[in-house]
């Protein structure tokens, strides 16, 4: 099973996963300005792309960061979990509230053919978050979603389909509340 896991990744990705897991564990909970600087330095190294002015607050859990690209001036608040396995692109001037989940992969949903679901693996569905987006506290952004520029995702929203530009969405599943 370990060999199957290792075959999925390049050596560079495995090294980044190692750094993310072990060094990330050390810097994830460090408070204050020093903690932010150390987190930024780590993620600058292991993100696919990272702009300037990134604030990653304590207790942010990032996985598969080798597939995350981030623009400039982004704030990721405490308790957020971002799984970049399927690829995530975040635009500029994005605010991500506390306890948000953004996922870019899911377990395969298909005929089992006698194979336990545990062994079917993941399917990747990249997520794109436009520029000047605000994602409210406790929101969930599901795999394959595109969020348009200047949009707001209300607190607690579950986003399962694309969000147009310049709208506010909320609810479960998220629907357009109004244009802005």
CATH code of the domain containing 71: 2.160.10.10
Domain-located, residue 113: no
Domain-located, residue 91: yes
Q: Which two tokens stand for residue 40?
A: 């930024």
Rounded Cα distance, 110 and 160, in Å: 19
pLDDT digits (tens, 9 = 90+) for 104-126: 998 877 776 777 777 777 789 99
**Count of domains observed in the chain:** 1
The sign of the torsion formed by the CA atoms of 148, 150, 156, 157 equals negative
- The confidence score (pLDDT) of residue 95 equals 98
For the entire predicted model, the pTM comes to 0.85
Among the listed residues 64, 81, 93, 107, the single catalytic one is 107
Q: Taking 70 as the threshold, does the pLDDT of residue 48 lie above it?
A: yes
Is 93 marked active-site? no
Domain-located, residue 178: no
Domain-located, residue 37: yes
Phi/psi at 13 (nearest 5 deg)?
-65, -40
5: exposed, middle or buried (Cβ count in 10 Å: 0-12, 13-18, 19+): exposed
Domain-located, residue 170: no
- The confidence score (pLDDT) of residue 2 equals 65
Domain-located, residue 2: no
Domain-located, residue 18: yes
Domain-located, residue 85: yes
Determine the average pLDDT of the residues in 145-169. Answer: 98
Rounded Cα distance, 6 and 99, in Å: 30
> What average pLDDT does the structure give for the chain?
89
Rounded Cα distance, 35 and 95, in Å: 19
Residue 98 domain boundaries? 9-107+119-162
């Amino acid at each position: 099973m370990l060999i199957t896991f290792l075959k999925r990744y390049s050596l560079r990705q495995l090294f980044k996963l190692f750094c993310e897991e072990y060094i990330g564990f050390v810097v994830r909970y460090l408070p204050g300005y020093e903690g932010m600087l150390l987190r930024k330095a780590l993620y600058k190294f292991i993100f696919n792309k990272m702009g300037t002015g990134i604030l990653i607050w304590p207790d942010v859990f990032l996985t598969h960061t080798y597939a995350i690209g981030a623009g400039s001036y982004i704030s990721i608040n405490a308790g957020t979990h971002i799984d970049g396995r399927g690829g995530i692109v975040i635009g500029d001037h994005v605010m991500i509230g506390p306890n948000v989940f953004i996922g870019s992969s899911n377990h395969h949903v298909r005929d089992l053919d006698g194979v336990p679901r545990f062994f079917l693996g993941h399917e990747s569905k990249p997520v794109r978050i436009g520029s000047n987006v605000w994602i409210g506290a406790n929101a969930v952004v599901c795999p394959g979603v595109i969020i348009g520029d200047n949009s707001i995702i209300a607190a607690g929203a579950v986003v399962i389909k694309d969000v147009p530009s310049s709208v506010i969405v909320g609810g479960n599943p998220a629907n357009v509340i109004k244009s802005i």
